[in-house]
Chain A
Amino acid sequence: MPKHSLLPDPMPLRDALRGLRFVLQRGGETLISVLPVEALPPPAARVAGAVLRDAGQLVEGVGDVASDLARMALTDGGPEAADMFARSFYAALRAVLARLHALPAHVSELAARQAWLSCPPGGDGAAQAAGLSRALRQGRVLRGVTIHPDTPLPEPQLESLAIFAVMLCLQAERHEGDEDDLLSAATDLALALGAEVPAAFAADDPAALTALYRTFAAHV
Protein backbone atom coordinates (compact mmCIF):
# COMPACT_ATOMS: atom_id res chain seq x y z
CA MET A 1 0.00 0.00 0.00
CA PRO A 2 1.54 3.33 -0.97
CA LYS A 3 2.46 5.55 1.94
CA HIS A 4 0.15 8.58 2.20
CA SER A 5 2.06 11.81 2.79
CA LEU A 6 -0.29 12.76 5.65
CA LEU A 7 0.07 9.40 7.36
CA PRO A 8 3.36 8.76 9.11
CA ASP A 9 1.95 5.43 10.25
CA PRO A 10 -0.33 3.57 7.84
CA MET A 11 -1.28 0.85 10.30
CA PRO A 12 -4.28 2.60 11.93
CA LEU A 13 -5.74 3.29 8.51
CA ARG A 14 -5.26 -0.31 7.42
CA ASP A 15 -7.01 -1.42 10.58
CA ALA A 16 -9.89 0.94 9.96
CA LEU A 17 -10.33 -0.22 6.38
CA ARG A 18 -10.18 -3.85 7.39
CA GLY A 19 -12.82 -3.19 10.00
CA LEU A 20 -15.06 -1.70 7.36
CA ARG A 21 -14.41 -4.61 5.05
CA PHE A 22 -15.35 -7.03 7.81
CA VAL A 23 -18.60 -5.18 8.32
CA LEU A 24 -19.35 -5.35 4.63
CA GLN A 25 -18.63 -9.06 4.56
CA ARG A 26 -20.72 -9.74 7.61
CA GLY A 27 -23.61 -7.84 6.14
CA GLY A 28 -24.05 -4.46 7.69
CA GLU A 29 -23.74 -4.64 11.45
CA THR A 30 -22.98 -1.59 13.52
CA LEU A 31 -19.58 -0.08 12.94
CA ILE A 32 -19.05 0.68 16.61
CA SER A 33 -18.07 -2.83 17.64
CA VAL A 34 -15.36 -3.24 15.03
CA LEU A 35 -13.71 0.14 14.61
CA PRO A 36 -10.47 0.46 16.53
CA VAL A 37 -10.88 2.19 19.84
CA GLU A 38 -7.64 4.04 19.19
CA ALA A 39 -7.91 7.47 17.59
CA LEU A 40 -8.85 7.11 13.94
CA PRO A 41 -6.75 9.27 11.62
CA PRO A 42 -8.86 11.90 9.88
CA PRO A 43 -8.13 10.60 6.35
CA ALA A 44 -9.85 7.33 7.30
CA ALA A 45 -13.21 9.06 7.31
CA ARG A 46 -12.64 10.29 3.76
CA VAL A 47 -11.48 6.95 2.39
CA ALA A 48 -14.28 5.09 4.16
CA GLY A 49 -16.63 6.39 1.58
CA ALA A 50 -14.38 5.11 -1.17
CA VAL A 51 -14.24 1.71 0.49
CA LEU A 52 -18.00 1.52 0.81
CA ARG A 53 -18.36 2.35 -2.85
CA ASP A 54 -15.62 -0.03 -3.93
CA ALA A 55 -15.00 -2.85 -1.47
CA GLY A 56 -11.28 -3.11 -1.93
CA GLN A 57 -9.37 -6.24 -1.09
CA LEU A 58 -6.65 -5.91 1.48
CA VAL A 59 -5.85 -9.54 1.77
CA GLU A 60 -2.35 -10.76 2.29
CA GLY A 61 -1.67 -14.18 0.88
CA VAL A 62 -0.26 -17.06 2.75
CA GLY A 63 2.87 -16.68 0.66
CA ASP A 64 3.52 -13.37 2.40
CA VAL A 65 3.10 -15.16 5.69
CA ALA A 66 5.72 -17.63 4.64
CA SER A 67 8.37 -15.04 3.91
CA ASP A 68 7.52 -13.02 7.00
CA LEU A 69 7.62 -16.01 9.27
CA ALA A 70 10.91 -17.05 7.80
CA ARG A 71 12.45 -13.75 8.82
CA MET A 72 10.70 -13.53 12.13
CA ALA A 73 12.05 -14.66 15.41
CA LEU A 74 10.01 -14.17 18.52
CA THR A 75 12.84 -12.69 20.49
CA ASP A 76 13.98 -10.28 17.80
CA GLY A 77 14.44 -6.73 18.93
CA GLY A 78 15.08 -3.68 16.87
CA PRO A 79 12.93 -0.83 15.57
CA GLU A 80 11.33 -2.85 12.79
CA ALA A 81 10.45 -5.82 14.99
CA ALA A 82 7.08 -4.54 16.19
CA ASP A 83 5.82 -3.77 12.69
CA MET A 84 7.19 -7.01 11.32
CA PHE A 85 5.57 -8.96 14.11
CA ALA A 86 2.25 -7.19 13.59
CA ARG A 87 2.24 -7.85 9.86
CA SER A 88 3.24 -11.51 10.27
CA PHE A 89 0.78 -12.04 13.07
CA TYR A 90 -2.06 -10.52 11.08
CA ALA A 91 -1.51 -12.76 8.09
CA ALA A 92 -0.82 -15.88 10.15
CA LEU A 93 -3.91 -15.38 12.31
CA ARG A 94 -6.07 -15.05 9.21
CA ALA A 95 -4.59 -18.24 7.83
CA VAL A 96 -5.36 -20.03 11.10
CA LEU A 97 -8.90 -18.66 11.14
CA ALA A 98 -9.37 -19.89 7.57
CA ARG A 99 -8.43 -23.39 8.70
CA LEU A 100 -10.89 -23.03 11.58
CA HIS A 101 -13.64 -22.01 9.15
CA ALA A 102 -14.04 -18.70 10.95
CA LEU A 103 -13.67 -16.18 8.14
CA PRO A 104 -14.48 -13.43 7.49
CA ALA A 105 -12.82 -12.02 10.58
CA HIS A 106 -11.48 -8.69 11.73
CA VAL A 107 -7.90 -8.91 12.93
CA SER A 108 -6.27 -5.76 14.27
CA GLU A 109 -2.70 -5.35 13.13
CA LEU A 110 -2.48 -2.28 15.36
CA ALA A 111 -3.41 -4.30 18.43
CA ALA A 112 -0.75 -6.84 17.48
CA ARG A 113 1.87 -4.16 17.30
CA GLN A 114 0.79 -2.65 20.59
CA ALA A 115 0.88 -6.07 22.23
CA TRP A 116 4.44 -6.53 21.02
CA LEU A 117 5.50 -3.12 22.31
CA SER A 118 3.85 -3.75 25.67
CA CYS A 119 5.85 -6.91 26.34
CA PRO A 120 9.29 -6.40 27.79
CA PRO A 121 12.03 -8.55 26.30
CA GLY A 122 13.55 -11.28 28.40
CA GLY A 123 12.91 -14.87 29.28
CA ASP A 124 12.97 -17.78 26.91
CA GLY A 125 10.79 -18.13 23.81
CA ALA A 126 8.00 -19.91 25.67
CA ALA A 127 7.77 -17.24 28.38
CA GLN A 128 7.85 -14.50 25.75
CA ALA A 129 5.12 -16.23 23.80
CA ALA A 130 2.95 -16.57 26.90
CA GLY A 131 3.30 -12.89 27.77
CA LEU A 132 2.63 -11.85 24.21
CA SER A 133 -0.39 -14.16 23.97
CA ARG A 134 -2.00 -12.54 26.98
CA ALA A 135 -1.24 -9.07 25.66
CA LEU A 136 -2.73 -9.95 22.28
CA ARG A 137 -5.92 -11.18 23.85
CA GLN A 138 -6.19 -8.26 26.24
CA GLY A 139 -5.61 -5.92 23.31
CA ARG A 140 -8.45 -7.57 21.37
CA VAL A 141 -6.34 -8.48 18.40
CA LEU A 142 -9.32 -10.46 17.11
CA ARG A 143 -12.30 -8.15 16.94
CA GLY A 144 -14.83 -10.25 15.11
CA VAL A 145 -15.18 -13.69 13.56
CA THR A 146 -17.86 -15.46 11.60
CA ILE A 147 -19.12 -18.72 13.04
CA HIS A 148 -20.18 -21.31 10.47
CA PRO A 149 -21.66 -24.79 10.99
CA ASP A 150 -18.19 -26.33 10.59
CA THR A 151 -16.40 -23.88 12.88
CA PRO A 152 -15.07 -26.26 15.54
CA LEU A 153 -15.37 -23.95 18.55
CA PRO A 154 -17.60 -21.20 19.88
CA GLU A 155 -16.31 -17.66 19.50
CA PRO A 156 -14.96 -17.12 23.05
CA GLN A 157 -12.65 -20.11 22.76
CA LEU A 158 -11.77 -19.48 19.15
CA GLU A 159 -9.75 -16.36 19.86
CA SER A 160 -7.47 -17.93 22.44
CA LEU A 161 -7.00 -21.05 20.36
CA ALA A 162 -6.16 -19.09 17.22
CA ILE A 163 -3.66 -16.88 19.06
CA PHE A 164 -2.09 -19.97 20.60
CA ALA A 165 -1.75 -21.65 17.20
CA VAL A 166 0.06 -18.66 15.70
CA MET A 167 2.39 -18.30 18.69
CA LEU A 168 3.14 -22.01 18.56
CA CYS A 169 3.99 -21.65 14.92
CA LEU A 170 6.35 -18.75 15.59
CA GLN A 171 8.32 -20.85 18.04
CA ALA A 172 8.45 -23.98 15.92
CA GLU A 173 11.51 -25.07 14.05
CA ARG A 174 10.97 -24.43 10.37
CA HIS A 175 12.22 -26.10 7.27
CA GLU A 176 12.28 -24.51 3.86
CA GLY A 177 8.94 -24.71 2.10
CA ASP A 178 6.87 -26.04 4.95
CA GLU A 179 5.40 -22.80 6.29
CA ASP A 180 1.88 -23.61 5.07
CA ASP A 181 2.07 -27.04 6.65
CA LEU A 182 3.47 -25.48 9.80
CA LEU A 183 0.45 -23.23 10.25
CA SER A 184 -2.04 -26.00 9.62
CA ALA A 185 -0.18 -28.37 11.94
CA ALA A 186 -0.02 -25.71 14.67
CA THR A 187 -3.76 -25.16 14.30
CA ASP A 188 -4.51 -28.87 14.50
CA LEU A 189 -2.22 -29.27 17.49
CA ALA A 190 -3.96 -26.41 19.26
CA LEU A 191 -7.35 -27.99 18.54
CA ALA A 192 -6.10 -31.36 19.76
CA LEU A 193 -5.26 -29.85 23.13
CA GLY A 194 -8.96 -29.35 23.61
CA ALA A 195 -10.00 -27.21 26.56
CA GLU A 196 -6.48 -26.75 27.92
CA VAL A 197 -5.70 -23.73 25.78
CA PRO A 198 -8.87 -21.73 26.43
CA ALA A 199 -8.60 -22.66 30.11
CA ALA A 200 -5.04 -21.31 30.34
CA PHE A 201 -6.13 -18.05 28.73
CA ALA A 202 -9.29 -17.78 30.82
CA ALA A 203 -7.33 -18.34 34.02
CA ASP A 204 -4.89 -15.66 32.86
CA ASP A 205 -2.19 -18.06 33.95
CA PRO A 206 1.19 -17.26 32.37
CA ALA A 207 2.76 -20.39 33.88
CA ALA A 208 0.18 -22.68 32.29
CA LEU A 209 0.57 -21.04 28.88
CA THR A 210 4.35 -21.11 29.16
CA ALA A 211 4.23 -24.82 30.00
CA LEU A 212 2.05 -25.57 26.98
CA TYR A 213 4.36 -23.69 24.64
CA ARG A 214 7.42 -25.28 26.19
CA THR A 215 5.93 -28.75 25.76
CA PHE A 216 4.54 -28.46 22.27
CA ALA A 217 6.52 -25.89 20.28
CA ALA A 218 9.05 -28.58 19.34
CA HIS A 219 6.35 -30.94 18.12
CA VAL A 220 4.43 -28.90 15.55
Chain B
Amino acid sequence: MSDRSPDRPSDPALIGILTAALPPTNEPLRTAVRRLRWFRTAFARFVQAMGEEIGCRYDLDEARLAEIFVRWLRAVEVQKPKARTDRHDYFAFAAGLMLRELVAAMPVRADAAPSKVDPNSAAAFWPEGYVCTLFCLTVHSAAMRQEFHEGTEIADAIDDLRQWWSFRENVGQDPSVSAGFLQLVLGHQPNWMMPDVFRARLGHELSPRT
Protein backbone atom coordinates (compact mmCIF):
# COMPACT_ATOMS: atom_id res chain seq x y z
CA MET B 1 0.00 0.00 0.00
CA SER B 2 1.45 3.38 -0.90
CA ASP B 3 2.51 5.52 1.97
CA ARG B 4 0.96 8.67 0.62
CA SER B 5 0.74 11.81 2.61
CA PRO B 6 -1.93 14.41 1.95
CA ASP B 7 0.32 16.79 3.92
CA ARG B 8 2.78 16.74 1.07
CA PRO B 9 1.22 17.76 -2.20
CA SER B 10 4.44 16.94 -4.01
CA ASP B 11 3.88 13.28 -3.15
CA PRO B 12 3.36 11.45 -6.46
CA ALA B 13 1.13 8.90 -4.74
CA LEU B 14 -1.28 11.68 -3.80
CA ILE B 15 -1.40 12.97 -7.35
CA GLY B 16 -1.99 9.41 -8.53
CA ILE B 17 -4.97 8.97 -6.23
CA LEU B 18 -6.43 12.29 -7.26
CA THR B 19 -5.90 11.61 -10.97
CA ALA B 20 -8.13 8.56 -10.59
CA ALA B 21 -10.95 10.90 -9.61
CA LEU B 22 -10.99 12.46 -13.06
CA PRO B 23 -13.87 11.09 -15.16
CA PRO B 24 -13.01 8.83 -18.08
CA THR B 25 -13.30 10.22 -21.56
CA ASN B 26 -12.87 8.93 -25.08
CA GLU B 27 -11.54 12.30 -26.14
CA PRO B 28 -8.05 13.68 -25.63
CA LEU B 29 -7.92 15.43 -22.27
CA ARG B 30 -7.03 18.72 -23.93
CA THR B 31 -10.44 18.52 -25.66
CA ALA B 32 -12.46 17.10 -22.78
CA VAL B 33 -11.28 19.75 -20.34
CA ARG B 34 -12.74 22.39 -22.64
CA ARG B 35 -16.22 20.88 -22.48
CA LEU B 36 -18.24 22.15 -19.54
CA ARG B 37 -19.82 18.80 -18.81
CA TRP B 38 -16.46 17.06 -18.42
CA PHE B 39 -14.87 20.01 -16.63
CA ARG B 40 -17.52 20.37 -13.97
CA THR B 41 -17.78 16.61 -13.36
CA ALA B 42 -14.01 16.42 -13.05
CA PHE B 43 -13.87 19.33 -10.64
CA ALA B 44 -16.75 18.04 -8.50
CA ARG B 45 -15.25 14.55 -8.24
CA PHE B 46 -11.80 15.93 -7.56
CA VAL B 47 -13.06 18.16 -4.80
CA GLN B 48 -14.87 15.27 -3.20
CA ALA B 49 -11.80 13.03 -3.43
CA MET B 50 -9.61 15.75 -1.94
CA GLY B 51 -12.07 16.28 0.88
CA GLU B 52 -11.87 12.57 1.72
CA GLU B 53 -8.08 12.71 1.65
CA ILE B 54 -7.66 15.70 3.93
CA GLY B 55 -10.76 15.27 6.10
CA CYS B 56 -13.22 17.98 5.23
CA ARG B 57 -16.24 18.54 3.03
CA TYR B 58 -16.33 21.14 0.29
CA ASP B 59 -19.45 22.98 -0.81
CA LEU B 60 -19.41 23.64 -4.53
CA ASP B 61 -21.15 26.49 -6.34
CA GLU B 62 -21.90 25.02 -9.77
CA ALA B 63 -23.15 28.26 -11.29
CA ARG B 64 -19.95 30.01 -10.30
CA LEU B 65 -17.92 27.14 -11.68
CA ALA B 66 -19.64 27.50 -15.06
CA GLU B 67 -18.80 31.21 -15.09
CA ILE B 68 -15.18 30.38 -14.28
CA PHE B 69 -15.14 27.89 -17.13
CA VAL B 70 -16.37 30.52 -19.63
CA ARG B 71 -13.78 33.05 -18.50
CA TRP B 72 -11.00 30.48 -18.69
CA LEU B 73 -12.09 29.32 -22.13
CA ARG B 74 -12.00 32.85 -23.45
CA ALA B 75 -8.68 33.62 -21.78
CA VAL B 76 -7.07 30.53 -23.27
CA GLU B 77 -8.39 31.33 -26.72
CA VAL B 78 -7.23 34.96 -26.65
CA GLN B 79 -3.61 34.08 -25.86
CA LYS B 80 -3.36 30.88 -27.87
CA PRO B 81 -0.08 31.03 -29.77
CA LYS B 82 0.07 30.36 -33.47
CA ALA B 83 3.50 28.77 -33.50
CA ARG B 84 3.42 25.02 -33.04
CA THR B 85 6.69 25.20 -31.14
CA ASP B 86 4.90 27.06 -28.36
CA ARG B 87 2.28 24.38 -27.91
CA HIS B 88 4.11 22.46 -25.19
CA ASP B 89 4.71 25.58 -23.09
CA TYR B 90 1.14 26.70 -23.56
CA PHE B 91 -0.22 23.61 -21.83
CA ALA B 92 1.37 24.71 -18.55
CA PHE B 93 0.35 28.29 -19.15
CA ALA B 94 -3.28 27.32 -19.72
CA ALA B 95 -3.25 25.47 -16.40
CA GLY B 96 -2.04 28.67 -14.76
CA LEU B 97 -4.90 30.60 -16.33
CA MET B 98 -7.30 28.00 -14.97
CA LEU B 99 -5.93 28.48 -11.47
CA ARG B 100 -6.22 32.22 -11.87
CA GLU B 101 -9.94 32.00 -12.66
CA LEU B 102 -10.63 29.40 -9.99
CA VAL B 103 -8.93 31.34 -7.19
CA ALA B 104 -10.33 34.70 -8.29
CA ALA B 105 -13.93 33.44 -8.10
CA MET B 106 -13.40 30.54 -5.67
CA PRO B 107 -16.29 28.16 -6.33
CA VAL B 108 -15.62 25.98 -3.26
CA ARG B 109 -15.77 26.46 0.45
CA ALA B 110 -14.55 24.01 3.08
CA ASP B 111 -17.12 23.38 5.76
CA ALA B 112 -14.50 22.96 8.51
CA ALA B 113 -10.76 22.75 9.08
CA PRO B 114 -9.34 19.56 7.55
CA SER B 115 -9.02 16.85 10.16
CA LYS B 116 -6.56 14.44 8.52
CA VAL B 117 -3.60 16.71 7.87
CA ASP B 118 -0.96 18.50 9.87
CA PRO B 119 -2.38 21.82 11.13
CA ASN B 120 0.73 23.50 9.71
CA SER B 121 0.27 22.05 6.23
CA ALA B 122 -0.85 23.94 3.13
CA ALA B 123 -4.08 21.94 3.07
CA ALA B 124 -4.96 23.08 6.58
CA PHE B 125 -3.84 26.65 5.95
CA TRP B 126 -5.98 27.18 2.86
CA PRO B 127 -8.08 24.15 1.89
CA GLU B 128 -9.87 25.99 -0.91
CA GLY B 129 -6.74 27.31 -2.60
CA TYR B 130 -5.11 23.95 -2.05
CA VAL B 131 -7.79 21.94 -3.85
CA CYS B 132 -7.91 24.39 -6.78
CA THR B 133 -4.14 24.26 -7.17
CA LEU B 134 -3.97 20.52 -7.06
CA PHE B 135 -6.84 20.20 -9.50
CA CYS B 136 -4.97 22.30 -12.03
CA LEU B 137 -1.76 20.36 -11.43
CA THR B 138 -3.53 17.02 -11.74
CA VAL B 139 -5.29 17.85 -14.98
CA HIS B 140 -2.12 19.40 -16.38
CA SER B 141 -0.09 16.36 -15.38
CA ALA B 142 -2.56 13.94 -16.98
CA ALA B 143 -2.73 16.01 -20.18
CA MET B 144 1.06 16.21 -20.47
CA ARG B 145 1.38 12.49 -20.03
CA GLN B 146 -1.21 11.88 -22.70
CA GLU B 147 -0.06 14.51 -25.15
CA PHE B 148 3.70 14.48 -24.79
CA HIS B 149 4.34 11.24 -22.88
CA GLU B 150 6.01 13.28 -20.16
CA GLY B 151 5.80 13.03 -16.42
CA THR B 152 5.31 16.20 -14.41
CA GLU B 153 7.67 17.00 -11.59
CA ILE B 154 6.33 19.21 -8.91
CA ALA B 155 8.80 21.52 -7.24
CA ASP B 156 9.47 21.43 -3.50
CA ALA B 157 8.08 24.94 -3.32
CA ILE B 158 4.63 23.44 -3.10
CA ASP B 159 5.48 21.94 0.30
CA ASP B 160 6.71 25.29 1.60
CA LEU B 161 4.02 26.94 3.70
CA ARG B 162 5.66 30.33 3.24
CA GLN B 163 4.95 30.11 -0.49
CA TRP B 164 1.29 29.48 0.28
CA TRP B 165 1.18 32.39 2.70
CA SER B 166 2.59 34.65 0.01
CA PHE B 167 0.23 33.26 -2.60
CA ARG B 168 -2.87 33.75 -0.50
CA GLU B 169 -1.83 37.18 0.71
CA ASN B 170 -1.01 38.57 -2.73
CA VAL B 171 -3.68 36.98 -4.87
CA GLY B 172 -6.42 39.05 -3.27
CA GLN B 173 -4.85 42.16 -4.78
CA ASP B 174 -3.60 40.65 -8.01
CA PRO B 175 -5.34 37.56 -9.47
CA SER B 176 -2.48 36.99 -11.89
CA VAL B 177 -0.38 35.79 -8.94
CA SER B 178 -2.14 32.43 -9.26
CA ALA B 179 -0.70 31.90 -12.73
CA GLY B 180 2.77 32.67 -11.41
CA PHE B 181 2.33 30.34 -8.45
CA LEU B 182 1.43 27.46 -10.71
CA GLN B 183 4.47 28.11 -12.88
CA LEU B 184 6.56 28.13 -9.72
CA VAL B 185 5.32 24.78 -8.47
CA LEU B 186 5.94 23.33 -11.91
CA GLY B 187 9.56 24.30 -11.49
CA HIS B 188 9.57 27.37 -13.72
CA GLN B 189 10.56 30.94 -13.00
CA PRO B 190 7.53 33.16 -13.63
CA ASN B 191 7.67 36.72 -14.89
CA TRP B 192 6.10 38.17 -11.75
CA MET B 193 5.41 41.44 -13.54
CA MET B 194 2.97 39.74 -15.90
CA PRO B 195 2.66 36.09 -14.94
CA ASP B 196 -0.59 35.63 -16.86
CA VAL B 197 0.69 36.96 -20.18
CA PHE B 198 2.08 34.17 -22.35
CA ARG B 199 4.18 36.39 -24.59
CA ALA B 200 5.82 38.00 -21.56
CA ARG B 201 7.15 34.74 -20.14
CA LEU B 202 10.83 34.74 -19.41
CA GLY B 203 13.12 33.24 -22.01
CA HIS B 204 14.54 30.73 -19.59
CA GLU B 205 11.28 30.17 -17.79
CA LEU B 206 10.05 27.10 -19.54
CA SER B 207 11.86 24.10 -20.86
CA PRO B 208 13.22 24.75 -24.34
CA ARG B 209 11.58 22.62 -26.99
CA THR B 210 13.15 21.84 -30.31
Task: State the A residues within 8 Å of B (CB).
Answer: 152, 175, 178, 181-182, 184-185, 188-189, 191-194, 216, 218-220
Chain A residues contacting B67 (CB-CB under 8 Å) are: 192, 194
Task: State the B residues within 8 Å of A (CB).
Answer: 26, 34-37, 40-41, 62-63, 66-67, 69-70, 73
A175-B26, A219-B73 known; A189 vs B36 contact (CB < 8 Å):
yes
Chain B residues contacting A219 (CB-CB under 8 Å) are: 34-36, 73
A193-B70, A219-B73 known; A188 vs B36 contact (CB < 8 Å):
yes
Q: Which residue of A lies closest to B37 (CB)?
A: A185
Contact call B66/A178, Cβ cutoff below 8 A = no
Chain A residues contacting B70 (CB-CB under 8 Å) are: 189, 192-193, 216
Contact call A220/B37, Cβ cutoff below 8 A = yes
Chain B residues contacting A181 (CB-CB under 8 Å) are: 37, 41
**Of listed B36, B40, B62, residue having the most chain A CB within 10 A:** B36
Q: Which residue of A lies closest to B73 (CB)?
A: A219
Top 8 A-B residue pairs of the complex, sorted by shortest distance between their CB atoms: A192-B66, A185-B37, A188-B66, A192-B67, A192-B70, A185-B36, A181-B37, A189-B36
Overall SS of chain B's interface: helix
Overall SS of chain A's interface: helix
Q: Which residue of A lies closest to B69 (CB)?
A: A192
Cα distance, A182 to B38, chains bound together (Å): 10
Q: Nearest chain B CB to A174's CB is how many angstroms away?
A: 10
Q: Which residue of B lies closest to A185 (CB)?
A: B37
Contact call B40/A185, Cβ cutoff below 8 A = yes
Q: Nearest chain A CB to B191's CB is how many angstroms away?
A: 29
A175-B26, A219-B73 known; A191 vs B36 contact (CB < 8 Å):
no
Q: Nearest chain A CB to B195's CB is how many angstroms away?
A: 25
Q: Nearest chain B CB to A95's CB is how many angstroms away?
A: 15
Chain B residues contacting A184 (CB-CB under 8 Å) are: 37
A192-B69, A193-B70 known; A178 vs B37 contact (CB < 8 Å):
yes
Cα distance, A152 to B62, chains bound together (Å): 13
Contact call A188/B35, Cβ cutoff below 8 A = no
Chain A residues contacting B35 (CB-CB under 8 Å) are: 185, 218-220
Q: Which residue of B lies closest to A176 (CB)?
A: B26
Chain A residues contacting B73 (CB-CB under 8 Å) are: 219
Q: Nearest chain B CB to A62's CB is how many angstroms away?
A: 15
When the two chains form the complex, which single residue of A182, A193, A194 contacts B37, counting CB atoms closer than 8 Å? A182
